[in-house]
Amino acid sequence: MASLVQQPAPSFKAQAVMPDGSFKQVALEDYRDRYVVLFFYPLDFTFVCPTEIIAFSDANAHFAERNVQLLSCSIDSHFTHLAWRDRSRAEGGLGKIEFPMVADLNKKIAEAYGVLLPGGIALRGLFLIDKQGVVRHEVVNDLPLGRSVDEALRVIDALQHFETHGEVCPANWHKGGLTIKPNPKDSREYFTKANK
């Protein structure tokens, strides 16, 4: 499937387990005034998945201060999500999670985002969706490869810097680093400073 970057993010409505443990139907459009990081994982009660979900949840305040709503999604039911949350972290469970966990039981969301495997589970896809509902970044990992929360935050910072200042962000850029004015003349300022 072709990349979704620069395309409208596929819309969805689905049941989710909310941070307070309740069930609620959520839609992507519910978060249109915020950025959204939607990340897929293969299955509840597995091995790499809890490390990612817990890492994103533990960093939720960093996403919130950037006006980003985290949403996780797998093909499990909302009942299974809740049971996994109810298991302690020491036993491979999740404990309290600070963002909605979306249930994609019919697999339509994973399919729409191009991460559904033939066996019926999702690859580790992560999609950064802007406030207009457009996908601005995506990364898809194979099943054994966990993702980086720090990298997700770095890309959000880069997008928000570009939106605010119109300057583009070079390789390995972090907030506060040198940026590039995207035209042939003014870009020289960056290259002069970066190559001293």
**Nearest CA-CA partner of 78 in 56, 97, 100:** 100
Greatest distance between any 2 Cα atoms in the chain: 58
Q: Going by C-beta distance under 8 Å and a sequence separation of 6 or more, which residues neighbour residue 59?
A: 149, 153
Which stretches of 65-177 are DSSP H helices? 78-86, 108-112, 149-165
Q: Give CA–CA dist 155/165, Å, rounded.
A: 15
Identity of the residue numbered 13:
K
**Is the CB of residue 43 less than 8 Å from the CB of residue 74?**
yes
Q: By the 8 A CB rule, do 39 and 52 touch?
A: yes
In the set 9, 14, 37, 49, the catalytic residue is 49
**Cα(159)–Cα(146) distance, rounded to whole angstroms?**
23
49 assigned to active site: yes
User: 88-112: b or e for each residue (b if 16 or more CB lie within 10 Å)?
Assistant: eeeeebbeebebbbbbbeeeebbeb
Active site residues: 49
